[in-house]
């Protein structure tokens, strides 16, 4: 920069100078309706809309890029990206290596199976079950589910809290088949290569809207809490405290003026604003 250019930059108000900072926000682009890659290569979905909204409230220029799920945290800590917005649940293990923002969406998961599969008759369809609750019936519920899932093949996206849940409760009775993306396990579900998939409820809704899966449905309870953590948040490097503070201020503003609620209603069909 020339001396004249430097002088001009210094004359700008602090807010305008701050706008020159840029950050890279990574999403998966293959986790509808949270993030979608359109046929023309553009990114769309709940988290893309939310990222754009929050970036308009923060003093940064934002580039939103796609990143494979299993490379998210390594890329973040290597400095290749600055923020992860990829339906990432807050867990104690992840908190050891990244800093999380405030929660911007809840997380809960359930089974999807064919209407003709015997798993379709699992009890308590749609009943919300919190793994945090001190419920004496919890052990009995899990034992009943274990008996019904014995010998079944269950698909799940790898390196997720859904995987952790299945491994903790059912790995010794069912075959847990991990996939790189939800699109991959949906394909095997539609062709009968797995008996069921276990997925986040909001993702299950998008899955069941696919033409190849019209004869499929959710089955059994909806699980939250426990290994699923308190909800979904953005991840950043631990040392980026200023960015984290700016992000949380923007998120609080989006919650306060109803913008977050409108986006959850648009993409999930319900107002899922954290309470």
Supply the DSSP string of 182-250, one letter for each residue: HHHHHHHHHTTSSSEEEEEHHHHHHHTTSGGGTTEEEEEEEEESGGG-S-EEEEE-TT-HHHHHHHHHH
136 and 99, same structural domain? no
Same domain, 239 and 212: no
Q: Which of 90, 167, 169 is nearest to 177 (CA)?
A: 167
Do 138 and 156 lie in one domain? The reply is yes
Note the pLDDT tens digit of each residue in 102-141: 999 999 999 999 999 999 999 999 999 999 877 778 889 9
Secondary structure letter of residue 14 according to DSSP: H
Note down the domain range covering 28.
Answer: 12-104+232-268
**Do 26 and 71 fall within a single domain?**
yes
Residue 15 has pLDDT above 90, yes or no: no
- The whole-number pLDDT of residue 20 equals 65
Please give the pLDDT value at position 70.
Answer: 92
* CB count in 10 Å sphere of residue 144: 15
Asked if residue 129 and residue 100 are part of one domain, the reply reads no
Instruction: Write the CB contacts of 117 (distance below 8 Å, at least 6 apart in sequence).
Output: 195, 196
Q: Has residue 6 got a pLDDT over 70?
A: no
Q: Kindly report the CATH number assigned to the domain that includes residue 99.
A: 3.40.190.10
Q: Is the pTM of this model over 0.75?
A: yes
For 215-267, write each residue's pLDDT tens digit. 999 999 999 999 999 999 999 999 999 999 999 999 999 999 999 999 999 99
Q: What does the alpha-carbon distance between residue 47 and residue 267 come to, in Å, rounded to a whole number?
A: 10
- How crowded is the C-beta side of 128, counted as CA atoms within 13 Å? 9
Q: Are 222 and 156 in a shared domain? A: yes
Q: Are residues 81 and 137 in the same domain?
A: no
Helix (H, G, I), strand (E, B) or coil at 42: coil
Over residues 198-218, the mean pLDDT reads 94
Instruction: Single out the residue of 184, 173, 172, 186 nearest to residue 113, CA to CA.
Output: 186
Inside any domain, residue 4 = no
What's the full length of the chain, in residues? 275
With respect to residue 94, please indicate whether it lies within any of the assigned structural domains.
yes
Contact 131, 107 (CB under 8 A): no
Give CA–CA dist 112/217, Å, rounded.
6
- Closest by CA position to 64, among listed 32, 31, 21, 27: 27
Beta strands in the chain (DSSP E): 22-27, 30-31, 35-37, 43-44, 61-66, 83-84, 99-105, 109-114, 128-130, 153-157, 175-179, 196-200, 216-224, 232-236
Does residue 50 lie within any of the structural domains? yes
> Distance (Å, rounded) from C-alpha 260 to C-alpha 160?
24
Query: How many domains are there within the chain?
Result: 2
My answer on whether 144 and 248 are in the same domain is no
In terms of Cα–Cα distance, which of 225, 199, 245, 215 is closest to 34?
199
């Amino acid at each position: 920069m020339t001396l004249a250019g430097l002088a001009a930059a210094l004359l700008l108000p602090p807010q305008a100078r701050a706008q020159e900072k840029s950050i890279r926000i990574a999403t998966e682009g293959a986790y509808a309706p949270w993030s979608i890659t359109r046929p023309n290569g553009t990114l769309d979905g709940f988290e893309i809309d939310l990222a754009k909204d929050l970036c308009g409230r923060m003093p940064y220029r934002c580039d939103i890029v796609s990143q494979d799920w299993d490379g998210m945290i390594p890329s973040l800590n290597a400095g290749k990206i600055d923020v992860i917005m990829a339906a990432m649940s807050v867990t104690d293990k992840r908190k050891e290596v990244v800093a999380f923002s405030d929660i911007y969406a809840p997380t809960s998961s359930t089974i999807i199976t064919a209407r003709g599969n015997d798993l379709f008759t699992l009890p308590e369809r749609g009943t919300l079950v919190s793994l945090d609750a001190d419920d004496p019936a919890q052990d009995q519920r899990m034992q009943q589910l274990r008996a019904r899932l014995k010998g079944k093949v269950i698909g799940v996206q790898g390196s997720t809290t859904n995987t952790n849940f299945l491994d903790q409760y059912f790995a010794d009775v069912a075959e847990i088949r991990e996939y790189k993306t939800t699109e991959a396990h949906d394909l095997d579900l539609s062709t009968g290569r797995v008996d069921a998939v276990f997925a986040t409820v909001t993702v299950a809704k998008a899955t069941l809207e696919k033409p190849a899966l019209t004869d499929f449905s959710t089955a059994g309870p909806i699980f939250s809490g426990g290994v699923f953590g308190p909800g979904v948040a953005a991840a950043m490097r631990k040392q980026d405290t200023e960015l984290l503070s700016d992000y949380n201020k923007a998120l609080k503003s989006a919650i306060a003026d109803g913008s977050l609620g409108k986006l959850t209603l648009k993409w999930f069909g319900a107002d899922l604003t954290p309470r």
